[in-house]
Structure 1
Amino acid sequence: MMKNEYVPFLSEIKEVIKHTDIEYTFRMTYDGEVKPGQFFEVSIPKYGEAPISVSGVGGGLVDLTIRRVGKVTNEIFERYAGDRMFLRGPYGNGFDVNLYKGRELVVIAGGTGLSPVRGVVDYFSEHPGDVKGMTLIAGFKTPKDILFHKDFERWEKNMDVILTVDCADDDEQCHIGLVTEYIPKLRLDDVSNAAAIVVGPPVMMHFSTQGLLNAGFREENIWISHERKMCCGIGKCGHCKIDDTYVCLDGPVFNFTKGRKLID
């Protein structure tokens, strides 16, 4: 009997974690294979559905970090621990941590772009011996926009963490400036074999990948995510199509050799 990919399943909210006034993580029940960078469709009857990147996995749970930006997400934010929502997925191509083992790894994330790579950062924070070295460069508009505060406290124990903001409005300890300013300052033993992941707003990804190439990174050692193009999840609506590529199916995670050609 064929599975109907449009039919969602019920998932219970086990915990709601507030990061900012408009960004919460909903920790949902889910048993199954899922990779960082994949996404679920979250739906509420009468309101619609929204594609949300996976921001954490493990222990029969999946984290979905959601920004309140419209009708569906407004309704999601009215849900609390113990409530249930419909999910379908996971969809798309995620990050394979095995590709980065035994290498120096640089992760560059802008704003909510940290969500889909959080699982990768978590994995290597818990298994630091699996990489030769790791650097996380994460940028936000202001200190009030920073996500995953407690995670940063854990991560900085096992990797180099550069937390930067466009401008400061309080006494939080972080650098000032764009993430691209810190790429030339990277100190790597073998840049030709180092791997990099870049996720964030399109302009930030463009200049970050160019900065990495200028620093000596090879195109085939860079991965990006076009998560902003996700739509129905199964390539039927056509909204994610760029040329002959369906981002929902072939992505949202792409090696840069492919991803750089996807100009919408």
Structure 2
Amino acid sequence: MNNYIPFSSDILDVIKHTDIEFTFRMSYKGNVKPGQFFEVSIPKFGEAPISVSGIGKNYIDLTIRKVGRVTNEVFEHYISDTFMLRGPYGNGFDVDIYKGKELVVIAGGTGLSPVRGVIDYFANHKDEVAGMTLIVGFKSPEDILFKEDLERWQKTIDVVLTVDSTDDTKNYRTGFVTEYIPELKFNNKDNANVIVVGPPVMMNFSVKCILNIGIKEEQIWVSHERKMCCGLGKCGHCRINDTYICLDGPVFNYTVGKTLID
């Protein structure tokens, strides 16, 4: 198979989260990991890298925000239409690494998309982790993604759902995700793993808080998804020093991720 050549994928379903964020369920047969990405292309408009937000039998979910030329056009395509895809590219989250661990996932906004598959797996296989907590934050209640998933996950794992606004209800807390990191309780910090995905500023402060509570750098995993373009390490847009985010990432252990400053 030529990695440069896209293939046609049918849109099986479209799930609306907000006015600018939809999940497109695409037909796909093959191996894929949470955190990997596909290039979504539309002739005459271009292509954009989109992280896998869900994996099922003969399909993948791609959660897309309407922010530019390609994604604006994406929103004109609905069920029974098709996209052209290339991928999957990059290395994703390997769930085997986290089995038997006390796992914490910290996500901000659309950063929940690439880790949704990890959360879903362990929410459905709770016996395979020593414990699991999700801390996820959004700007406002209207910006919350995957509401049905969050309700389902709360039944099997600890979920802290927070919004930046001051409107307080029984369904979520208020404030930044960093405010809730010091509240984390571990039976054995040496047996813990933490995944952090979100905007760069949120990731930076979240990692500092995690280190402050005694979690080691090698126990932290991050996803860098900025500036990826071709997906094949040819265009150089995502190169930082000798690292190509699209090839060597986008998922990195923090011991490597901390050196990737652009």
Q: TM-score, length-normalised on structure 1?
A: 0.97
1:144 to 2:139 alignment: no
The aligned counterpart of 1:200 is 198
8 A Cα contact 1:143 1:170, kept in partner: no
Amino acid at match of 2:175: G
8 A Cα contact 1:30 1:60, kept in partner: yes
8 A Cα contact 1:143 1:168, kept in partner: no
Tell me how far 1:168 sits from its aligned partner: 4.1
The aligned counterpart of 2:224 is 226
1:167 to 2:169 alignment: no
Q: Distance in 2 between matches of 1:244 and 1:168?
A: 44
Q: Distance in 2 between matches of 1:67 and 1:170?
A: 26
The aligned counterpart of 1:44 is 42
Which consecutive unaligned segments of at least 5 residues does structure 1 have?
A: none
- What is the percentage of aligned positions where both structures have the same residue? 69
Residues paired across the two proteins, number: 262
| Counterparts of residues 18-167 of structure 1 (less than 5 Å) | 18-167=16-165
Deviation track 1:16-74 (CA, whole Å, cap 9, x = no partner) reads: 00000000000000000000000000000000000000000120000000000011111
The aligned counterpart of 1:258 is 256
Off by >3 Å, runs of 4+ in structure 1:
168-172
Amino acid at match of 1:136: L
**More displaced 10-residue stretch of structure 1: 102-111 or 222-231:** 222-231
8 A Cα contact 2:168 2:174, kept in partner: no
Q: Would the alpha carbon gap of residues 168 and 18 (structure 1) be closer, same or farther in structure 2, given more than 3 Å must change?
A: farther
8 A Cα contact 2:39 2:86, kept in partner: yes
Q: Distance in 1 between matches of 2:16 and 2:98?
A: 31
Measured on the aligned residues, the alpha-carbon RMSD in Å equals 1.0
Q: Distance in 1 between matches of 2:56 and 2:214?
A: 35
8 A Cα contact 2:106 2:135, kept in partner: yes
Tell me how far 1:11 sits from its aligned partner: 0.1
Question: In structure 2, the residue corresponding to 1:228 is in which secondary structure?
Answer: coil
For residue 243 of structure 1, the aligned residue among 234, 241, 244 is 241
Q: TM-score, length-normalised on structure 2?
A: 0.98
8 A Cα contact 1:143 1:172, kept in partner: no
| Counterparts of residues 170-189 of structure 1 (less than 5 Å) | 171=169, 173-189=171-187
Which consecutive unaligned segments of at least 5 residues does structure 2 have?
A: none
Q: Distance in 2 between matches of 1:83 and 1:256?
A: 40
8 A Cα contact 1:109 1:138, kept in partner: yes
Tell me how far 1:170 sits from its aligned partner: 7.6
8 A Cα contact 2:178 2:206, kept in partner: yes
8 A Cα contact 1:23 1:67, kept in partner: yes
